[in-house]
Structure 1
Amino acid sequence: MTHTADSSADRLVLDAVGAALSAASAASSSPSRAALSGHATDARIAVAFSGGIDSSVLLDAAARVAGPSRCIALHVHHGLSPHADEWLAHCEAFARVRGIAFAAQRVEVVRERGVSVEAAAREARYRALDALCAQHGATTLWLAQHADDQAETVLLQLLRGAGLAGLAAMAAGYLPAGATVTRVRPLLHLLRAQLEQYAAERKLTWVDDESNADTRYARNALRHDVMPALAVHFPGFRDALARTAGHAASAQRLLDDLARLDMQTAARDAGRVLSRAALLVLDDERALNLLRFWMRSLGLPAASTARLTDALRQLREVSDAHNLRVDHAGEALRSYRDEIYWEAGDSAEPADETALVARAVSQLAWHGESIWRLPQWRGTFVFAEAAAGDPDTVPVTLLSTALLTARSRGGGERMHTRAEGPARTLKNLFQERGVPAWKRDVPLLFAGDTLLFVPLLGVNRAVLMEEGAAQALAPHARFVRIDWREDLLLA
């Protein structure tokens, strides 16, 4: 699409947007990339549009360079400001005047313990933007951060004592872990002043978020109090900080390559679990690097060096690794036998695995149902007709003559895995079969007051010795196999 560049600011902004568009088109037009991704050279571009001056400049320039029909403006309504409804209306009108498609999503910002409102809002915003991109077929999400934002980010990370990953700050283009939409920052090398000049010359209108003036927030304090002073005494500080971010990003890539090699040895269960032995054979610096990389791959926020160092110390020192508890961002780092994993919750919860969830009860009067969905356990009991010799079968009469009850473990329950021999505790049976504590939150299936079936352990063979069950062993008796399927295993 043709456009006119009358000023230096206009030319700089349009050139930056054009370069981002060319890079995206070159990547998607590669035969191998196109075959894998399904992207076309005219793929739709989503612009994260808050209505502020930065995103207004980006959306206006994107429409001029790529064409309005190829763009879509995505707005997230947080509801944190009393003016949020006005901003939504402004954004929709701004896009409509330019012939640009518009979509918005309202989100509720939920703060976890220890998470700032800014971080919670940012997380909610990106979740909503990713969902909107998928809904509207956008293959790239353009963000309006610029060189001043990059300098502020590097300074903030320096003041927080961040590592290389933090100092690398914002990348011009990246694909977040687990995401399918690439995020692009076309304006990252332009100054805020250049965007302001573009907006003035184009006579753009925008909204001002009143929270941006509140210097109780660290970023705002840097923007209003520190950056102007730096500009007086160190005019080139933005370029210097950008170079620092680039050096940190290069070094971090090398550390990530090393962590990927270590993950090949240490990772299990598609990367959700680490081998404790494989981690502890590494020296401290390499082990900490692996832990950081592993957490990022799981989508967990970065932990402080002090917290990770304490976790590694506990892993090296505790004789019973099952007692390991390190809290972080609403999750607890735990270990069982040779497996290290994260699970929801923190050390305020009881250590015994039988108390990991509140006790729950569900009941069913069974009349031949093939499935019994139990959402509180995120799974389903499946009942299928089977031959009598199947080890996990029970007589149909057992299911139909007594009320079925699913209960959480209370501790101390016993069952027979063989008809002969003493009953054994579920805890001992789980330990014997190597079932980690984090997988033991399963519903126990009772027929009346009799324990009938335990997922991962099977049928309680004692039920077949009871009088009612013995009568079911007639020549024409029907049997049902019981299975427990977690939600992820259901088609």
Structure 2
Amino acid sequence: MIPTAETPADRLVLEAVGFSLSTLPANARIAIAFSGGVDSSVLLDAAVRVAGASRCLALHVHHGLSAHADAWLAHCEAFARERGVEFAAERVEVSRDAGVSVEAAARDARYRALEDMCASRNVATLWLAQHADDQAETVLLQLLRGAGLAGLAAMAPEYLPADASATRVRPLLHLLRAQLEQYAGERALQWIDDESNADTRYARNALRHEVTPALAVHFPGFRDALARTAAHAASAQRLLDALARIDMESALRDEGRALSHDALLAFDDDRALNLMRYWMRTLGFVAASSARLGDALRQLREIGAAGEGHGLRIDHAGHALRSYRGLVYWEAGDSNEPADETALAARAISELAWQGESIWRLPQWRGTFVFADADVAAGDSDTIPASVLRRAVLSARSRSGGERMRTSEARNAPSRTLKNLFQERGVPAWKRDVPLLYVGDDLLFVPLLGVNRAALPDQVDEAETRVKIIWREDLLIA
């Protein structure tokens, strides 16, 4: 039940918080991102009044970017305790990598920390204190950066990121900063003033202090107009995403890890680029620039659907776009790696003295070797005598390059490189990062290729128990 409002600002804030609360299950806990600034102080204070302190959890992220960060942490904890609210905080390191703004790095670190704190406490709703002025500034920034519809859609009132467990909700998004400040003054709230908010070297601060005041004089309703622009852009983006999902149904291959070259190039440029953007989002990639995606599509058209695509070299977010045997996919690593080989990360060697175990779990490979009883009578020929598995310690190793095996049962058949065998069987590069199973120093089994016949004895006791080895990735294990 919403408390009786004392002033217009009080009523607006309490109604906004009450509406967001009404969409949640009864007694569901709410995490509030609490920086200690006026906006989050208003949100936490109002949430306690409407929902009750027991349902609220105040989460603070200590960035360490200000000399006052420790004092802010102490203030936030005291503010929460005064209201009987559980408080939690996490310290983060903000990346200073070249080409990444401090603002963006701090934002990414903050959201990761908030998500971790929500997940560890099993809280499924995270409230954020952004308001109408923040939304207007975001739309302006995206316009000035030449962003597409996804950027112009700005901040959604409610959404669940693909890699998160907590839904992010912005109860105050339609309220003005001035209304929140009026509420805070009337409630005699104490809040933090972050000195960095006055630094106009940051783009958002420059807009806030130098641009939007001038807009307010000549275009008093600009905040509402920009909010409508964001809503229109979000609606249009939803339609584009719906179209991309339809297109993906016809183009997607290999459980979402690749697109059909033919299907992708059958679309005109606008539709193909829309599909590629959406596909990259489903893979968890950061958005690529229009120029980079346009260049990728141009190269794909030049290669042609039947081409192997070894000349395709588009690097993005630690991956390289490749084309192989009619499939388009993203491969880990950059374009310095050869196109038909995965950039393999060496993993620690695991060893097992096999004594009849049915499974061998390999966490570093995210999978399991299964040792199953073979049915030779049913024609299962790709099997191994149990004595071979016991003759020496088994080890699972990374590929190092140049390994060879013989898949033919003919003793005089030549051995061949794993690279050649993978290519012959059409195994795409992203599937080749598999553990090689050795018995002693002999390569015995390779997932997707089978048993190395050269490691088996020439004479085998027909009555001996035989074993079939199966490699199962984690996602395939019940």
Are the structure 2 counterparts of residues 271 and 442 from structure 1 closer, same or farther at C-alpha, using a change threshold of 3 Å? closer
- The one of 377, 387, 395 equivalent to 1:397 is 387
Give the structure 1 partner of residue 138 of structure 2: 153
Q: What's the CA shift for 1:361?
A: 6.1
Q: Give distance in 1, aligned partners of 2:401 and 2:121.
A: 50
Which residue pairs with 1:265 in the alignment? 250
Matching residue of 1:462 = 454
1:9 Cα deviation after fit: 1.7
Deviation at 1:451, TM superposition (A): 2.0
Give the whole-Å Cα distance in 2 for the aligned partners of 1:161 and 1:301: 17
Q: Does 1:344 align with 2:336?
A: no
1:45 aligns with 2:37: no
Matched residues, number: 470
Q: In structure 1, what is the Cα distance between the partners aligned to 2:362 and 2:451?
A: 19
Give the conservation status (yes or no) of the 8 Å contact 1:76–1:125: yes
Contact 1:353 1:438 in 2 (8 A): no
Q: Which amino acid aligns with 2:468?
A: R
1:71-470 superposed matches below 5 A: 71-110=56-95, 114-318=99-303, 319-347=307-335, 349-354=336-341, 356-359=343-346, 362=349, 364=351, 366-368=353-355, 370=357, 371-386=359-374, 390-420=380-410, 421-464=413-456, 469-470=457-458
Q: Displacement, 1:8?
A: 2.2
| 2:466 is the counterpart of 1:479 | yes
Residue deviations 1:334-355, cap 9 Å, x none?
Answer: 23223222343322x4225546
On the 8 A contact 2:405/2:453 being kept in 1, the answer is yes
Structure 2 residue aligned with 1:29: none
Question: Residues of 2 paired with 1:192 and 1:97: CA distance?
Answer: 24
In 2: Cα distance, 1:369 partner to 1:219 partner: 64
Percent of aligned pairs with the same residue?
71
Query: Could you tell me how far apart the structure 1 residues matched to 2:14 and 2:83 are?
Result: 16
In the superposition, the TM-score normalised over structure 1's length comes to: 0.87
Secondary structure at the residue paired with 2:5? coil
In structure 1, give the amino acid aligned to 2:324.
Y
Q: Deviation at 1:99? A: 1.6
- TM norm structure 2: 0.90
Residue identity matched to 1:418: S
| Greater alpha carbon shift after TM alignment, 94-103 vs 204-213 | 204-213
One-letter amino acid matched to 1:350 = E
3-state SS of 2:349 partner = strand
Query: 2: CA distance between counterparts of 1:335 and 1:80?
Result: 43
Does the C-alpha gap of structure 1 residues 332 and 46 become closer, same or farther in structure 2, counting only changes over 3 Å?
Answer: same
What SS does the corresponding residue of 1:74 show, helix, strand or coil? Answer: strand
**Letter of the aligned partner of 2:212 in structure 1?**
M
CA contact (8 A) 2:13 2:172 kept: yes
Distance 2:470 2:93 in 1: 38
CA 1:81–1:484: 2 relative to 1, 3 Å: farther
Contact persistence 1:154–1:245 (CA under 8 A): yes
CA distance in 2, matches of 1:211, 1:345: 37
Alignment root-mean-square deviation, CA: 2.5
Q: Which moved more, 1:7-16 or 1:48-57?
A: 7-16
Larger displacement relative to structure 2 (12-21 or 396-405): 396-405
Contact 1:365 1:400 in 2 (8 A): no
Is the 8 Å Cα contact of residues 115 and 329 (structure 1) preserved in structure 2? no
SS of equivalent residue, structure 2 residue 262: helix
Aligned counterparts of 2:2 and 2:82: Cα–Cα separation in 1: 19
Contact map agreement 2:403 2:418 (CA 8 A) in 1: yes
CA distance in 1, matches of 2:212, 2:330: 40
1:365-397 deviation line (CA, Å, top 9, x unaligned): 624273545444333434345456643432333
Secondary structure of 2:216's partner? helix
